[in-house]
Amino acid sequence: MSSTFLYFAYGSNLLAKRIHLNNPTAVMKDIGYIKNFRLDFQRYSQRWCGASATIVETKNSVVWGVVWELDKCNLSTLDCQEGVQDNIYHVMSVNVETLNGTTLNSRVYQQCNNPKEYIKPADLSIDRRPSPLYLDTILKGAHENNLPDDYIEFLKTIPHNGYIGEYDISLSLIED
């Protein structure tokens, strides 16, 4: 039996510096996308002071991200980081399609009680917008891992909530 597992990150854990805060065994395996899901923002995160990312089943949509390979010793730290025990996110299994055509079955986290209606990210209400730091962390991770330019341009259309206060995160992710 394998001592590692694959995890598909599409939010703040796109950034190596972020995932390594709680999951030091994470090694970037590949980039890829999941079909028939869209990126959305729904639930307020106290840590990030704005809405955090989720995936919502949506035909003819894709979400790009990073496949990390982690040692099973980080399974509980990743679950804890994602708030599984508090019913913030639940675990799913998805097939990630990579650029070379490989399919990687990976663990992914989806928020509980996702919105059913589609609202374009540019039209999200202020309470469903991510904070500047959270959005910047996603964008830095997308650049760091060379996600497709058109997907990065899409991420840039997502408005933030304008929050300018303190964040409840143990490492400044603003630094380059």
**146-155 pLDDT, tens per residue?**
999 999 999 9
Average pLDDT on 125-133 reads 96
Return mean pLDDT, the chain.
Answer: 93
- List the domain boundaries for the chain: 4-156
The separation between the first and the last C-alpha atoms of the chain, rounded to the nearest angstrom, is: 39
Amino acid identity at 44: Y
Is 166:44 a contact under the CB 8 Å cutoff? no
- Written as six digits, the tokens of 28 are 């970037």
Q: What are phi and psi of 56, to 5 degrees?
A: -130, 130
For residue 116, the model assigns a pLDDT of: 75
Residue 103 has pLDDT above 70, yes or no: yes
Confidence at 121, pLDDT banded by 50, 70, 90: confident
- Written as six digits, the tokens of 47 are 């840590």
> How far are the Cα atoms of 68, 132, 134 from residue 139, in angstroms, in the given order?
17, 10, 9
Alpha carbons within 13 A on the beta-carbon side of 152: 14
For residue 118, the model assigns a pLDDT of: 86
- Written as six digits, the tokens of 133 are 């730091």
Q: How many secondary structure helices (H) and strands (E) does the chain include? A: 4, 5
Indicate the CATH number of 4-156 among 3.10.490.10, 3.30.70.141, 2.40.128.20, 3.40.50.720: 3.10.490.10
For residue 113, the model assigns a pLDDT of: 85
Residue 115 has pLDDT above 90, yes or no: no
Q: What are phi and psi of 16, to 5 degrees?
A: -55, -45
Residue 142 has pLDDT above 60, yes or no: yes
Residue 37 has pLDDT above 50, yes or no: yes
Residue 42 has pLDDT above 80, yes or no: yes
Query: Can you tell me the distance from the alpha carbon of 18 to that of 141, in angstroms, rounded to the nearest whole number?
Result: 9
Average pLDDT on 26-51 reads 95
For residue 67, the model assigns a pLDDT of: 98
For residue 176, the model assigns a pLDDT of: 44
Active-site residue list: 82
Write the DSSP assignment of 8-57 as a string of letters: EE-SGGGSHHHHHHH-TT-EEEEEEEEEEEEEEEEEEETTTTEEEEEEEE
Residue 38 has pLDDT above 60, yes or no: yes
For residue 171, the model assigns a pLDDT of: 52
pLDDT tens digits for 57-79? 999 999 999 999 999 999 999 99
Confidence at 170, pLDDT banded by 50, 70, 90: low
